[in-house]
């Protein structure tokens, strides 16, 4: 009964009557209306708030104990706030509300979802900071918040979620520096922080992310040199550092990135010559260097 109440709160809090799929029947006492609403639901289930067990409502999946384990409401015209009650779904593993019009803050109660391994809320209108309480999500693997209106700094506590393999915070209004604590995320394969207002240097400690394949730091306000240590990230195939305020020369050590196919360094304040080691990267498909101050020869 508590679980049914929680998901019903989610429905009402996110303007369920105007969802694109699986919204409730206009008359919940009319079997004909309910049947019609069920037929219109294509999310592998029945319409929400129907008399059926909530585990059968479209977009919900339950486990063996009939506890909700996943919520898939991607691109379903959700609007309004994520209710704090969601934090009581203790068996929840996947929360996918991406590509909607959700607004307001990320509830700190989300930090109570100890089984959660995927939090997908990108392409919404979420505001406020990233809650530090999310450090409690020790099973979290995918954390996607790109294209929102989030502010504040990147919590250093995220470095304690050792299970993370994808961290995408691009296209927000995040400020401050890139936490050196992110070096602890040994399983991380994608770090996407593009299009924010991040400042300070690129931490050389990021070299410890030996599983990383994509490093996206473009369109920020980062300063200082490109760390030579980035040349130790052997699996890196995309390195996006364009449109910052980076200075110094391109490290020849980047020539060690033999899997690199995208290297974007345009619109910085880089000087010197382009290292021949970089020019010899055999898999490189995209190299952008304009808008710098390289030697003419």
Task: Tell me the per-residue pLDDT of 250-293, one tens digit each, with 9 for 90 and over.
Answer: 999 999 999 999 999 999 999 999 999 998 899 999 999 999 99
State the Cα–Cα distance between residues 235 and 8, nearest whole angstrom.
45
**What letter does residue 137 receive in the DSSP assignment?**
-
Residue 138 confidence class, pLDDT cut points 50, 70, 90: very high
pLDDT value at residue 43: 84
Residue 152 burial by Cβ neighbours in a 10 Å radius (0-12, 13-18, 19+): middle
The rounded percent of the chain whose pLDDT value lies above 90 is: 94
Q: Concatenate the DSSP letters of all residues of 225-247 into one string.
A: PPPGGGGG-TT--EEE--SSEEE
More confident call, 280 vs 138: 138
Query: In sequence order, what are the residues at sequence separation of 6 or more whose Cβ sits closer than 8 angstroms to the Cβ of residue 170?
Result: 146, 147, 192, 193, 194, 195, 196, 216
Q: Is the pLDDT of residue 168 over 80?
A: yes
In whole numbers, what is the pLDDT of the chain averaged over residues? 96
Query: Is the model's pLDDT at 184 over the cut of 70?
Result: yes
Residue 297 has pLDDT above 70, yes or no: no
CB neighbour list of residue 29: distance below 8 Å, 6 or more residues apart: none
What does the pLDDT read at residue 67?
97
Residue 296 pLDDT: 73
> Do residues 262 and 286 make contact, with C-beta atoms less than 8 angstroms apart?
yes
- Tracing tokens 């030579």 back to the chain, one arrives at 228
Show Cβ contacts of residue 232 under 8 Å, excluding neighbours closer than 6 positions: 207, 210, 253, 256
């Amino acid at each position: 009964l508590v679980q049914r109440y929680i998901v019903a709160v989610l429905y009402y809090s996110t303007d369920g009557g105007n969802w694109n799929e699986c919204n409730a029947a206009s008359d919940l006492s009319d079997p004909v209306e309910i049947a019609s609403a069920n037929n219109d639901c294509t999310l592998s289930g029945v319409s929400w708030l129907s008399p059926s067990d909530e585990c059968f409502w479209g977009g919900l999946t339950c486990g063996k104990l009939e506890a909700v384990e996943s919520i898939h409401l991607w691109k379903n015209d959700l609007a309004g706030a994520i209710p704090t009650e969601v934090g009581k779904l203790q068996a929840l593993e996947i929360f996918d509300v991406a590509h909607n019009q959700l607004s307001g803050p990320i509830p700190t109660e989300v930090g109570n979802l100890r089984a959660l391994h995927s939090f997908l809320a990108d392409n919404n209108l979420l505001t406020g900071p990233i809650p530090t309480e999310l450090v409690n999500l020790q099973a979290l693997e995918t954390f996607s918040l790109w294209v929102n209106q989030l502010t504040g700094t990147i919590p250093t506590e995220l470095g304690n979620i050792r299970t993370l393999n994808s961290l995408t915070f691009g296209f927000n209004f995040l400020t401050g520096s890139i936490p050196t604590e992110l070096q602890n995320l040994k399983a991380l394969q994608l770090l996407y922080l593009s299009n924010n207002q991040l400042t300070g240097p690129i931490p050389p400690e990021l070299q410890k992310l030996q599983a990383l394949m994509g490093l996206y730091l473009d369109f920020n306000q980062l300063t200082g040199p490109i760390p030579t240590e980035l040349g130790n990230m052997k699996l890196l195939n995309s390195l996006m550092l364009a449109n910052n305020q980076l200075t110094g020369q391109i490290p020849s050590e980047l020539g060690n990135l033999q899997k690199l196919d995208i290297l974007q360094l345009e619109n910085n304040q880089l000087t010197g010559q382009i290292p021949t080691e970089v020019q010899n990267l055999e898999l490189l498909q995209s190299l952008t260097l304009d808008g710098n101050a390289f030697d003419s020869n």
